[in-house]
A and B are shown apart, each in its own frame.
Chain A
């Protein structure tokens, strides 16, 4: 009896992990097939992929930096998901985070400040901006019952166009126009506002964003699994009416969960800006919001799962870009892989439930 009881959870956990893994493997196979069909050399493509993902200190660092941004969006996603909210607005939250951080870094007179404030204040601004963007969706949900999937999506489009607007107008963030060839981009942010490197190796782009990300992942895991706040989020997500009847502030929790998701997205945006890109341009968020969403979905609510998934997609993205440059395989292939994984995992929920029931 006890031996049997002890072995059951493992069974279930296995099904939970096995199915996403199977989905990942299957979609990787499909993509190899697509490469072959398109007439490109599969070994070349794989070589280019590995080279771009892990081939050098630079490649490795760039992949990890991507994973940091994806992790942050993914952590935000599982925060909101704990309250049964699906935040699809990561892209827009990255964008507003980037705008706010750029504005403060360039025009907030922060570059002379001591104690790392030059770096921290833009980061704070971006995080708050992201939180506000997430909270809007939360308020719409609580006040008007608007489904957060639709509202975060639409807010995402608005935010992307805000980036476009910001860098089109010199009254906003566009660099001073000296000639007709001046690109619609912001100036580079000053050196003191950038994130310091992690290794001291000039070759490696790794920056302290990695440390921030890991600390936040631990904090998220504790808050979601061990704290009363996490339990309340869960209660409100499972049964809002019962949670409110039990005295929980339903509206505040829902808005808070989406604001938290937005804050993580905004922080991801500032880290992308301050760690690597250093200036704002159209398309700044580069699809990281959607990738982060996929990471969050696949993690099934676990912070460790987010980190693992983010590393996978970080390397996938770096490898994909390298494949496009070196082997002529369009990087859109990585999107195909992601889409297939999301569909396979969502479609297998019933299967997992059945397996779990069977195990019981």
Chain B
């Protein structure tokens, strides 16, 4: 069992020259969307190849084609010299392709060993043998993993390692990792990359999918860049021009982010200087503590004061208490301790309606679960919290509602076929703009809490969201911007506070030069 890491070298050396997996002119459509077009790539044993691309570039689709989740519409794939037409993930696994998914594919209520026996064992469960195997695989790749731990109680990094062991147990020849770094705090990324290197060195091919080039530069042998479903650049990492790769990925001058930066510096209200009278408080959190069902502390004594006109960024790797804070401030969850105020009104126990009435606009993290009712119309969603305005004798004045909604849609550039079409028919960006429109037109509006407001949006929508948030701040609204994208926070916020394991661990000015310091805080260092 201890030789797992060095089991395949003979074959590996033999096949060093010809690719293990070759893609030839692959294409995939979803309805009218051409997700992939004319993609030709090859992957070799002993090599880590990086697939680089922005959200929506087609990276996940490509992985799913290789793994048999979808079938290509055009082109063909060759794996180990033969044409590769997987019927489903099961066949991919059997043939030696394993994938660490972006969303983990572990059952949270079961233990690590139970998860790893799933689909691997027949008949009676061989609990002890599997547990031993897990330990030995982990050891041979240089990390440790407790087989008896319940997955739901593991940290993100540990879960990911369990996922990797799960893949390695099948002794795959090709390991695909889909955005493995997105969920990790900075200090865990290094050890992940070490593992990838060791896997490749043990005679396997590794595909590493990411949109963050800097992180993986040191581990990749080659890199291919996807944009809009096409391969737009390929390079050997050793000789690659990093700037050119990034330009290929974003398809525009990288300066654009810097423009956003400088714009935000000028646009938001100047910091309060000593001479000014202090501006009124917009949002005050006083020692908020949240515990989960198992009585574990998820948010610990969170204290923050945001003044009118100020944008405060809350940085942190996801899962460090941001969601819990969002739920409390939305009035959907009672904290175990602490209080919060919007303006001068205490709202700790008051519930969502009172938060709205006091001028608290909420753009929640999970748009579909919390912000909108996708089966209802755009107009109904845009006025979901103000339906009384359109009610006479209990009846809804639908024409007036639709008319008002059309005005708001124009103002906030929400593009839809009409005010009465289903909300679910809108693109993510337009949905988000509609939610922002609803929350920003509260009267009065004192504070805005926006959680991950640009996630999954295209660049135009992102800029529109930034613009609206800045404009609100200029009007004197206090903004709490919760985001796991550090660049976003640096671009938009006035100052940044960092949340780590449910606690505020530091505050920094929102300046590009602070990136490293904030990154350290996010990973729990620099305390």
Any A–B CB pair closer than 8 Å: yes
Give Cα A230 to B398, complex, Å.
13
Least CB distance, A208 to chain B, in whole angstroms: 26
Contact assessment for A245 and B391 in the assembled complex, using a CB-CB cutoff below 8 Å = no
Contact assessment for A242 and B372 in the assembled complex, using a CB-CB cutoff below 8 Å = yes
Contact assessment for A249 and B353 in the assembled complex, using a CB-CB cutoff below 8 Å = yes
Flag whether A234 is at the interface (Cβ < 8 A).
yes
Contact assessment for B376 and A246 in the assembled complex, using a CB-CB cutoff below 8 Å = no
Chain A residues positioned under 8 Å from B371 (CB to CB): 242, 245
Which one, A227, A228, A244, contacts B352 given CB within 8 A? A244
Chain A residues positioned under 8 Å from B380 (CB to CB): 231, 235
Which one, A231, A235, A245, contacts B364 given CB within 8 A? A245
Flag whether A143 is at the interface (Cβ < 8 A).
no
Give Cα A200 to B371, complex, Å.
57
Flag whether A239 is at the interface (Cβ < 8 A).
yes
* Cβ proximity bits B319-343 to A, threshold 8 Å, 1 near / 0 not: 0000000000011100000000000
Chain A residues positioned under 8 Å from B385 (CB to CB): 245-247
Contact assessment for B396 and A226 in the assembled complex, using a CB-CB cutoff below 8 Å = yes
Contact assessment for A246 and B352 in the assembled complex, using a CB-CB cutoff below 8 Å = yes
- CB nearest to A222 among chain B residues: B395
Contact assessment for A247 and B394 in the assembled complex, using a CB-CB cutoff below 8 Å = no
Give Cα A231 to B391, complex, Å.
11
Flag whether B369 is at the interface (Cβ < 8 A).
yes
Give Cα A226 to B398, complex, Å.
8
Contact assessment for A242 and B369 in the assembled complex, using a CB-CB cutoff below 8 Å = yes
| Dominant SS among interface residues on chain A | helix
Contact assessment for A243 and B384 in the assembled complex, using a CB-CB cutoff below 8 Å = yes
Chain B residues positioned under 8 Å from A16 (CB to CB): none
* Cβ proximity bits B508-527 to A, threshold 8 Å, 1 near / 0 not: 00000000000000000000
Give Cα A241 to B357, complex, Å.
18
Chain B residues positioned under 8 Å from A247 (CB to CB): 352-353, 356-357, 385
Contact assessment for B394 and A228 in the assembled complex, using a CB-CB cutoff below 8 Å = yes
Give Cα A223 to B395, complex, Å.
8
With A227-B394, A228-B391, A232-B387 already in contact, the answer to whether A245 and B375 are too (CB < 8 A) is no
Chain B residues positioned under 8 Å from A249 (CB to CB): 353
Contact assessment for B376 and A238 in the assembled complex, using a CB-CB cutoff below 8 Å = yes
Chain A residues positioned under 8 Å from B375 (CB to CB): 238
Give Cα A227 to B390, complex, Å.
10
Chain A residues positioned under 8 Å from B387 (CB to CB): 228, 231-232
* Cβ proximity bits A207-247 to B, threshold 8 Å, 1 near / 0 not: 00000000000000011001111111011001101111111
Flag whether B283 is at the interface (Cβ < 8 A).
no
With A239-B372, A239-B373 already in contact, the answer to whether A245 and B362 are too (CB < 8 A) is yes
Which one, A226, A228, A238, A239, contacts B388 given CB within 8 A? A228
Give Cα A223 to B394, complex, Å.
8
* Cβ proximity bits B361-399 to A, threshold 8 Å, 1 near / 0 not: 010100001111111100010001101101100111000
Give Cα A230 to B376, complex, Å.
13
Give Cα A242 to B357, complex, Å.
16
Which one, B331, B364, B373, B395, contacts A243 given CB within 8 A? B373
Q: Which of A227, A230, A245 has the most CB of B within 10 A?
A: A245
Chain B residues positioned under 8 Å from A229 (CB to CB): 394
Chain A residues positioned under 8 Å from B356 (CB to CB): 246-247
With A245-B330, A247-B385 already in contact, the answer to whether A239 and B394 are too (CB < 8 A) is no
- CB nearest to B371 among chain A residues: A242
From residue 243 to 293 of chain A, which have CB atoms closer than 8 A to chain B? 243-249
Contact assessment for A242 and B391 in the assembled complex, using a CB-CB cutoff below 8 Å = no
- CB nearest to B387 among chain A residues: A228
Which one, A226, A227, A228, A235, contacts B373 given CB within 8 A? A235
Least CB distance, B428 to chain A, in whole angstroms: 16
Can you identify 17 A-B contacts, CB atoms within 8 angstroms?
Answer: A227-B391, A228-B387, A228-B391, A228-B394, A228-B396, A235-B384, A238-B374, A242-B373, A244-B352, A245-B330, A245-B331, A245-B332, A245-B362, A245-B364, A245-B385, A247-B353, A247-B357
Q: Which residues of B contact A (CB under 8 A)?
A: 330-332, 351-353, 356-357, 362, 364, 369-376, 380, 384-385, 387-388, 390-391, 394-396
Given A235-B380, A242-B373, 15 more A-B residue pairs with CB atoms under 8 Å apart are A226-B395, A226-B396, A227-B391, A228-B395, A231-B380, A231-B396, A238-B373, A239-B369, A241-B332, A241-B369, A241-B370, A243-B384, A245-B331, A245-B385, A247-B385
